[in-house]
Amino acid sequence: MTEPRITPELVQKHNLTPEEYEKILGILGREPNYTELGVFSVMWSEHCSYKNTRPLLKTFPTKSPKILVGAGEENAGIIDIGDGLAIAFKIESHNHPSAVEPFQGAATGVGGIIRDIFTMGARPVCAVNSLRFGPITQAPSKSSGVTAEIANNRRLLSGVVGGIAHYGNCFGIPTIGGEVYFDPCYEGNPLVNAFCLGVLRHDQIARGSATGVGNPVFYVGPATGRDGLAGAAFASQDLTDESAQQQRGAVQVGDPFMEKLVCEACLELLATGAVAGMQDMGAAGLTCSTCETAARADTGIEIELDKVPQRGPGMTPYEIMLSESQERMLVIVHKGREEEVKRIFDKWDLPWSEIGTVTDSGRMVVKHGGTVVVDLPARQLADDAPVYHREAREPAYLAGVRAFSLATVPDLTDPREALSRLLAWPSIASKNWVFRQYDHMVRNGSVVCPGSDAAVIRIKHDSVPPVPGQPPQALAQDKLIAVSVDCNATYVYLDPYEGSKIAVAEAARNLACSGAVPLGTTDNLNFGNPHNPEIFHQLAESVRGLSEACRVFRAPVTGGNVSLYNQNPNGAIDPTPTIAMVGQIEREEHITTQWFKEDGDAILLLGAPVDGSDPMLGLGGSAFLKVAHGTKSGTPPRCDLEKEKQLHEALLALIYSGEIKSAHDCSDGGLAVALAECCFSHQKARDTFQLTGASVDLSSVSDLRLDALLFGESQGRVLVSVSALNAVKVIERARILGVAALNLGITGGTALNIRTGTGEWSWDLRELHRLWWNAIAEAMRI
């Protein structure tokens, strides 16, 4: 087949600028051929090179005594958890593919993040996800009926959840937590961020380096096809109706059963010591895995494409190199140990092929039928992509946000309808329609499943890959790992710096509410087109807030993902820097959940009821303003990081004392929503719920707007329940630890009763629970 001539139009079609093409000419000293142009286009895409964000990412805190593999070193970060054990974890996006084909887009997002974990030598033990969609319910002010946009949002939600469930359930990994938000900004451009965590011993850490000149290079996994062609480049451009139709082939097709075989074979192979380096074929496929492994080792690599298993007839070098077919791995083997590798792959009934060797040339050389079709310097291809310092300009809309005042918002006189509407709002309502499709109990390590502030998983001895030739070693005690994923994108939209601080603070607060101390953070930066100075301002300010907060909570960034160009025809998505934070719980008795445990317990609020120094009283950007007034404006709550840290440390101290029965942070929907969730969020068994009423007296908090008191989202607040006999003692201890504490009332009964200085109201828990539990399911049935 004759390759097309390199023209400015072809260069532009590959998403390369004229300046970038000139740099390629300078590196090569000649014109690239068609396949080489494709290789540069994917390796220099934002998805692979971070060319627009690298200077910002360098400002993240990335060091701690517990970090064994840090950000940017390998496919995932690794943190020590004691007794010679470690965890590997990471979060990544699959937004564009999920917008085009939601089931396979989401499924292969799960598959890709799982491979990032076991390629490090870790056994994957749990998954979490963060999802964003356009509205799935009609606004009350709109006419009845379902619009085309809402129908499409429901289609995307159903497809994405189905894809995540299919891949995770079939692979056999528990999906133990996550978050789901709905907002018009995500119409046509959903966000699908997938997280995975694995466990390994310190001596099992594998590296993605092509070390050892003369070592053979093996391909393992299913044959290469034309699916996923140039997916990395597709993810690095604006998503439009036209591009979606053109790039439908850029969506990969996953096979979780094949991935399970690849995982087990690779872990067994790593245990033999025959592996010199390993890398999954994720974004940019065979291109990325070859040049990145060579660049890390400062070596070269040479492969023959005729030896690459191919699924389609007559595949060109361009197609083979840029395909992102799933479940494939590149393995560099110590010379002389090839037969061990072949034996293990044959045992697991996996296709394999010896496709090349490691060289000392420093170049990535690709042959097809013995003819050289790619000859490029590996390090320059992998590491020398152009780096841009984009212009940043404060968005014009922020002036209106700061000018917004509560003077334009009438106060509530009766909060009963408002609480019911908030609990039925899909962003706050129970996500059981989503998580009941996931197997969150497989492997029997899940301790706290979806439905509380943070998920908790038990690392047992059978989760740790054994020492070769030795029986599995029993741990002195099981390790308890907590995971939280958070981001209120509305806050970030209204104040990128403050909102990003809140995202980190809430993740850390959720860990504290579960009894965990933070270990590290992985982030997924979902933003619009960085060429827009206003969007780049959002990105820069967001990274500044994330960096500051991660330092305060001693939760360094171990890696993550940047997903830019998230645009729909109406504009960019709200900036959404998703934070996944991992913590450790020292003892099983410290595990804490959010729901009230029994009647007669005292309900305490740790932290001030309302931040009086905030002119919006916690209502800026709140769920209440959006649901009750249809307004997304006002400066979001302030986040005092030092006070937050003090709250978390005090809460953990109280949990360690054994006197805290439940803990739940006040976030979306404010105090009233948090109280309701504490009353009814415990599902004891299928269709069996624990409804524990509460009687709360807020009349001591006077001279305050009722909407701000009940639905304001001031930061740094946690609801706890304790034995009534210990209430005074816990309040005094909290105050000694520097945290305000207030006795709100007592648990018991079948209703939520709230008294304020302006009145007393009661809600039947069964009705509130019905609204909260069924909201998403009812929307998806329409």
pLDDT score at 545? 98
Reported as a single tens digit per residue, the pLDDT across 37-56 is 999 999 999 888 999 999 99
pLDDT score at 249? 56
Q: What is the mean pLDDT of residues 232-252?
A: 56
Reported as a single tens digit per residue, the pLDDT across 436-491 is 999 999 988 999 999 999 999 999 877 776 666 676 666 667 899 999 999 999 99
DSSP strand pairing (557-563 vs 662-665):
unpaired
**Residue 241: pLDDT above 80?**
no
Tell me if 535 is assigned to some domain: no
Between 547 and 141, the more confident residue is: 547
Between 474 and 35, the more confident residue is: 35
- Identify whether the C-beta of residue 216 lies closer than 8 Å to the C-beta of residue 335: yes
pLDDT score at 2? 76
Tell me if 499 is assigned to some domain: no
Question: What is the C-alpha separation between 254 and 163, in angstroms, rounded?
Answer: 10
Using a pLDDT cut of 70, give the percent of the chain over it. 95
Reported as a single tens digit per residue, the pLDDT across 282-321 is 888 999 999 999 999 999 999 999 999 999 889 999 999 9
What residue type is assigned to position 625 of the chain? Answer: L
Tell me if 605 is assigned to some domain: yes
pLDDT score at 96? 92
**Residue 632: pLDDT above 90?**
yes
pLDDT score at 240? 60
Report the range of poorest mean pLDDT among 242-246, 494-498, 540-544: 242-246
Tell me if 267 is assigned to some domain: no
For residue 398, give every residue at least 6 positions away whose Cβ sits within 8 Å of its Cβ, in sequence order, or none: 494, 495
**Residue 246: pLDDT above 80?**
no
Q: What is the mean pLDDT of residues 367-376?
A: 96
pLDDT score at 77? 97
pLDDT score at 464? 74
pTM as predicted: 0.95
- Terminal Cα-to-Cα distance of the chain (whole angstroms): 51
Question: What is the C-alpha separation between 574 and 492, in angstroms, rounded?
Answer: 7
Task: Let me know if 94 is a catalytic residue.
Answer: yes
pLDDT score at 142? 59
10 Å CB burial of residue 403 (0-12, 13-18, 19+) is exposed
Task: Let me know if 334 is a catalytic residue.
Answer: no
- Identify whether the C-beta of residue 344 lies closer than 8 Å to the C-beta of residue 272: yes
| Residue 764 parent element (H or E) | strand 759-764
pLDDT score at 81? 96
- Mean pLDDT value across the chain: 93
pLDDT score at 250? 59
Tell me if 660 is assigned to some domain: yes
Cα 323 to Cα 101, 210, 262, 299, 483: the distances in Å are 17, 21, 18, 24, 33
**Residue 410: pLDDT above 80?**
yes
pLDDT score at 138? 84
DSSP 531-589: TSHHHHHHHHHHHHHHHHHHHHTT--EEEEEEE---EETTEEPPPEEEEEEEEEESSGG
Reported as a single tens digit per residue, the pLDDT across 169-219 is 999 999 999 999 999 999 999 999 999 999 999 999 999 999 999 999 999
Tell me if 19 is assigned to some domain: no
pLDDT score at 534? 97
Three-state DSSP at 688 gives: strand
pLDDT-derived band at 242 (thresholds 50, 70, 90) equals low
For residue 346, give every residue at least 6 positions away whose Cβ sits within 8 Å of its Cβ, in sequence order, or none: 352
For residue 421, give every residue at least 6 positions away whose Cβ sits within 8 Å of its Cβ, in sequence order, or none: 627, 628
Cα 377 to Cα 21, 312, 592: the distances in Å are 15, 29, 53
- Identify whether the C-beta of residue 780 lies closer than 8 Å to the C-beta of residue 433: yes
Print the domain residue range for 687: 594-782
Among the listed residues 14, 47, 334, 664, the single catalytic one is: 47
Q: What is the mean pLDDT of residues 717-743?
A: 97
Q: For the chain, count helices (H), then strands (E).
A: 27, 30
Domains identified in the chain, total number: 1
Between 245 and 584, the more confident residue is: 584
Question: What is the C-alpha separation between 614 and 637, in angstroms, rounded?
Answer: 7
- CA geometry: angle 11, 16, 19, nearest 5 deg: 100
Tell me if 619 is assigned to some domain: yes
Reported as a single tens digit per residue, the pLDDT across 545-587 is 999 999 999 999 999 999 999 998 889 999 999 999 999 999 9
Q: What is the CATH number of the domain that holds 761?
A: 3.90.650.10
Tell me if 115 is assigned to some domain: no
Among the listed residues 14, 94, 440, 648, the single catalytic one is: 94
**Which residues of 444-516 form beta strands (DSSP E)?**
446-448, 455-459, 479-486
pLDDT-derived band at 252 (thresholds 50, 70, 90) equals confident
